[in-house]
């Protein structure tokens, strides 16, 4: 079992295998999930799951991740947070 510091280091490392990032995305610790959501090498499927996270900070990192896909951004248009909704709308409008 990784310590919090070890898990955090893996979550931000662009060389961490996508399978490990997916595992870390299920961490009980929202800080670790936030770091996974921020990682540019996190798989699209994992980002999509993290877009449904109960923690606003995790969803915020998803909407800011440059690799998030349009379907996930469209889902975030109905996020409880107005800030996240506006960011998703802005990101989608820049693609058209």
Give the SS3 label for residue 1.
coil
Burial degree of 43 (CB within 10 A; 0-12, 13-18, 19+): middle
- Alpha carbon distance 27, 31 (integer Å): 9
- Alpha carbon distance 51, 4 (integer Å): 22
| % of the chain residues with pLDDT over 70 | 98
- Alpha carbon distance 82, 40 (integer Å): 24
pLDDT for the residue 96: 63
pLDDT for the residue 84: 98
The parts of the chain modelled with pLDDT lower than 70 are 1, 96
């Amino acid at each position: 079992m990784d310590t919090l510091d070890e898990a955090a280091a893996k979550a931000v490392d662009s060389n961490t295998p996508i399978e490990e990032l997916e595992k870390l995305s299920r961490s009980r610790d929202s800080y670790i999930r936030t770091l996974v959501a921020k990682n540019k090498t996190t798989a699209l499927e994992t980002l999509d799951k993290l877009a449904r996270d109960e923690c606003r900070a995790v969803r915020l990192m998803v909407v800011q991740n440059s690799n998030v896909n349009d379907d996930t951004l469209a889902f975030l248009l109905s996020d409880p947070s107005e800030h996240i909704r506006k960011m998703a709308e802005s990101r989608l409008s820049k693609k058209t």
